[in-house]
Structure formats: structure tokens, C-alpha cells
């Protein structure tokens, strides 16, 4: 219930988050949230503009006595990742998020929460609305489509913003101050194939991989989580040689930036191998569940008889597909040699669709080093081209190079230490794609930093925001605003 969320402290933050989460805001469909934000700014009597691509900018003059400080930009993105559990009935295009409290956490009921990046948006809204929070001249930048292409950041023209410091509120660990991030590129492999009539001696089965945690394909790519597309391929691999297995359909994963949680396949096997096929599937399922017992305790593999499919894919294409998916790299490709513990380069095999004579495989390749990003993208390209696919590289966006000499970083570190009994923050680059790198192309002199409250399980239905961390983060925000250096 939003009423219990609104009672949380700090009320300014949680009330704005509840307001925002009542507005449907899927990536690529942000019309309603754009209008919501414009109405919000106009109702406050503040200068409010929408740029050519749909970003919203709201300007607020400095508080009394803060006029001599550097002007700042506070930035968050309006869209959210839409993921739900298979058994959850929910229409993201029409419904607001249904939130509840579990202990120290705010969660949604069977869906993503939208704390990524809704808590950042709510923070900025609360500051814009307040007449008691001290701050310098403020430009609030609300970008669109961060989660599926960063087209808002890419489309923001130079000269619109006048702030000297940018505070990006899209980091998900409250002890971290972000000074860099990975860039990314979409790798998409496609090909058509000839469908064949299924022979009469075959019988149909559905194979389902489910119960995986999923999660953020950047921030969690190193955790060893199961990828439903890779697990499904292991179940299908060599199926023809053993059982005459032929693939009719595969539908695995969803968004490129989410580690795939589920995959479903419809196959046909030789009826004579029915008992052997079922026995091997049980054995393989147990092996995979044992292999992933620590990271994926809820993994389920369900194999059940179904109506024999009318069509199956060409055998040669099937063999090439399963081998290409086996060979295609998924997970960490290279750790940074310069920053301890940082994933430099990775890939997520996010989406596999096989249906009606068409194959489509979608990957998101990330790296903080442009040359290594291209190297991995070309590795995937070569793998899929060898099996007859056409491969497109698209949606390329740059990383954000760390600036350890940042002036705002020098302000924030001692504030964090003072507020947290001398504890030092973790100053780091992250393997997620933040908009700072893109924004920096048109605003190269802007001093940028990223921070935020604890958010776990982003991009999955297990997404949750920590209440106590939001309180810690809010206090940090207020102190930063008080201490922006003079111009």
C-alpha cells in the first residue's frame, strides 16, 4: 500500500517516490511520465522545458545566501525496467507499481520496483518542491529511455545546461561514490531458416527453465548467476544425436540489461526414445541444479509432454544455432588490470527467439575500455556469422573515464566520512552503463559524480530499496547541497 510507504522517513523522499510510482513509465513509452514531470515543474512555478527528444529540465534559483556557489545539475532517468514473475498478472503500460514493506526494505509485489532510478527522481522532486532545503542554483535533468538505449542522454544537446557540477543519482550502493562507468553496445544476430513438417513418428515436449534470480546484467554479471538461455542450450545440445530432437520454438529472456531468468522451448523427439529422453532430462536437470545450488536455489527445469508441433527448424540450422550459443561468450570477459575488483568487459546473452522461420539473438556487451568492447563484440559477431547469421552492432554508447582529481569528489569524501563516523566511502568506477559518459560528450568540462541509496536486485522482480539506507543517503544529499563550492 502506498500509504505505508508515504509514512516512511524521510517523508519528502518517499512521498515523491509514491507519486512517481503511480505513473506507468516503461522505456520507450514515457509520454505520461514526461507530462507528469512537466506538470510538476509548472505547478511549482519553475522554468520547465521539454527538449527535442523528451528530456525534462526544471530550473530553480539558488536559496538565499547560496547565490555565489557553483550551479549544479541533479540528474536521474524517468524510465524503469519492466520485469515480472511468470505468475504475476500485471500491465506495466496501465498500472502503477504495487509496493509493500518487508522489514528494512521496500519491494513490489511480483514486479520490479522502479527504485532504479525512481529514488533519484524522487530526491530531485523533493528538493525542487522544498522551501527549506539549502541549495545553489539548480537544474534538474530528467532523462528518458536510459534502460533501453540511453537515447535521452544521447539526444541532449550542448548548451541547454549551464551547471558546472553534475550529481547523477543512479548508483545502487550507499557507500559508493561513482567516478566512472562502462560503455556498451548491442550485438544482434538474426537469420531466417526453412521450416519442415514434423514427421509422424515424433512426439512433442515443452522444456522450461525458470526460478532463476535474474538481475542487472552489468552490476551483477560477475556473481555467477544462471543465464536461462545458456542453461536451455545445454539441455538442447546434442539432442538430435541422442533422441532425434528437433527444435520448433525457443523463447528465452527479455530485456538486454537483465540477466535472463526464464526460457521456454517446444521440441519434438523420436517417440522410440521417449523413456531415454525423459530420464536424461531428469538427470541433466539434477546436475544443473546441483551446479547452481548456491547461487540459484530456486532453479526449476520442467519437461512435459505436449501436442506435437506442426513445424520444426531445418536440422543444419539447428545444429549451427546450438553450437553458436554454446560458443558465444556470456559473463565476465576481462577484469580491469587497473582497478581492483572491477569488471572491465562482459557480455549478457539476453534474448533468444526461434519461431516461424526466424532466429533472433540479442546481447549487451559492456566495457570500460572501448577497444576491448569492440574485441568482444567482434568475437560474438564472428561466432554467430560462422553459423550463417547476420550480425548488427547498434546502440553504441561510451564509458565514463574516472577523474580522481574531481573537485566535487574532494567535497563529498570528507562529508561522507563526517556523517559516518570516519568510515571511508568506496570511490570506484562501476560496470553498469551510466549516462555520465554520454552527457560528457556535449558537456566535457562538467564535473560529474554518481551516488545513491542501497538498491538490490535491480532489473528483476526481486528489486528492493533499503529504508535505512535511504535515510543515510538523504542526509548525505542535503549536506552535499550545503557545501557546493563557490564559483
List, by residue number, the catalytic residues: 79, 146
Residue 472: C-alpha distances to residues 218, 285, 289, 380 (Å): 25, 44, 39, 42
Residue 362: C-alpha distances to residues 135, 280, 379, 393 (Å): 44, 29, 14, 10
CA dihedral sign, ordered 85, 90, 92, 97:
negative
Beta strands 464-466 and 455-456: pairing type? antiparallel
Grid cell for residue 182: 562502462
Grid cell for residue 82: 519492466
E strand or H helix that includes residue 250: strand 246-253
Judge whether 314 and 194 are in contact, CB under 8 Å: yes
Q: Write the secondary structure of 393-446 as one string of H (helix), E (strand) and C (coil).
A: EEEEECCECCCCCCHHHHHHHHHHHHHCCCCCCEEEEECCCCCHHHHHHHCCCC
E strand or H helix that includes residue 11: helix 11-21
Instruction: Look at the block and give the residue holding cell 546481447.
Output: 363
Closest to 184 in 3D by CA, of 447, 353, 448, 437: 437
Grid cell for residue 161: 545546461
Amino acid at each position: 500500500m502506498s500509504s505505508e510507504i508515504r509514512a516512511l522517513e524521510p517523508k519528502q523522499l518517499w512521498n515523491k517516490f509514491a507519486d512517481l510510482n503511480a505513473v506507468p513509465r516503461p522505456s520507450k513509452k514515457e509520454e505520461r511520465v514526461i507530462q507528469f514531470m512537466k506538470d510538476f515543474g509548472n505547478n511549482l512555478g519553475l522554468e520547465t522545458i521539454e527538449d527535442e527528444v523528451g528530456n525534462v529540465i526544471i530550473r530553480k534559483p539558488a536559496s538565499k545566501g547560496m547565490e555565489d556557489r557553483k550551479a549544479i545539475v541533479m540528474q536521474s532517468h524517468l524510465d524503469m525496467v519492466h520485469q515480472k514473475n511468470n505468475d504475476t498478472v500485471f500491465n506495466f503500460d496501465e498500472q502503477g507499481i504495487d509496493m509493500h514493506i518487508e522489514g528494512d526494505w521496500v519491494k513490489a509485489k511480483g514486479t520490479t520496483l522502479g527504485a532504479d532510478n525512481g529514488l533519484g527522481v524522487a530526491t530531485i522532486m523533493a528538493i525542487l518542491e522544498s522551501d527549506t532545503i539549502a541549495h545553489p542554483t539548480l537544474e534538474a535533468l530528467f532523462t528518458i529511455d536510459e534502460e533501453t538505449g540511453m537515447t535521452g542522454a544521447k539526444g541532449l544537446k550542448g548548451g541547454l545546461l549551464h551547471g558546472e557540477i553534475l550529481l547523477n543519482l543512479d548508483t545502487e550502493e550507499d557507500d559508493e561514490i561513482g567516478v566512472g562507468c562502462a560503455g556498451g553496445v548491442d550485438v544482434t544476430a538474426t537469420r531466417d531458416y526453412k521450416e519442415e513438417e514434423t514427421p509422424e513418428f515424433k512426439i512433442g515436449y515443452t522444456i522450461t527453465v525458470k526460478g532463476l534470480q535474474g538481475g542487472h546484467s552489468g552490476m551483477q554479471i560477475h556473481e555467477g548467476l544462471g543465464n536461462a538461455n545458456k542453461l536451455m542450450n545445454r539441455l538442447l545440445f546434442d539432442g538430435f544425436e541422442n533422441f532425434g530432437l528437433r527444435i520448433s520454438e525457443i523463447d528465452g529472456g527479455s530485456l538486454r540489461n537483465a540477466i535472463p531468468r526464464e526460457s521456454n522451448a517446444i521440441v519434438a523427439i523420436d517417440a522410440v526414445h521417449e523413456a531415454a529422453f525423459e530420464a536424461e532430462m531428469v538427470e541433466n536437470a539434477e546436475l544443473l541444479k546441483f551446479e547452481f545450488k548456491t547461487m540459484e536455489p530456486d532453479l526449476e527445469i520442467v519437461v512435459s509432454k505436449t501436442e506435437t508441433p506442426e513445424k520444426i527448424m531445418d536440422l543444419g540450422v539447428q545444429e549451427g544455432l546450438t553450437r553458436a550459443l554454446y560458443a558465444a561468450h556470456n559473463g565476465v570477459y576481462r577484469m580491469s588490470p587497473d582497478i581492483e575488483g572491477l569488471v572491465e568487459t562482459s557480455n549478457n546473452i539476453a534474448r533468444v527467439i526461434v519461431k516461424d522461420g526466424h532466429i533472433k539473438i540479442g546481447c549487451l556487451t559492456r566495457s570500460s575500455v572501448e577497444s576491448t568492447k569492440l574485441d568482444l563484440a567482434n568475437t560474438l559477431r564472428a561466432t554467430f556469422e560462422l553459423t550463417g547469421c547476420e550480425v548488427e552492432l547498434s546502440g553504441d554508447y561510451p564509458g565514463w573515464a574516472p577523474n580522481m582529481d574531481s573537485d566535487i569528489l574532494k567535497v563529498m569524501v570528507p562529508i561522507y566520512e563526517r556523517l559516518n563516523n570516519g568510515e571511508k566511502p568506496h570511490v570506484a568506477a562501476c560496470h553498469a552503463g551510466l549516462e555520465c559518459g554520454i552527457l560528457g560528450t556535449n558537456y566535457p568540462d562538467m564535473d560529474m559524480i554518481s551516488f545513491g541509496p542501497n538498491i538490490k536486485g535491480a532489473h528483476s522482480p526481486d528489486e528492493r530499496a533499503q529504508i535505512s539506507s535511504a535515510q543515510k543517503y538523504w542526509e548525505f544529499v542535503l549536506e552535499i547541497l550545503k557545501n557546493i563550492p563557490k564559483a
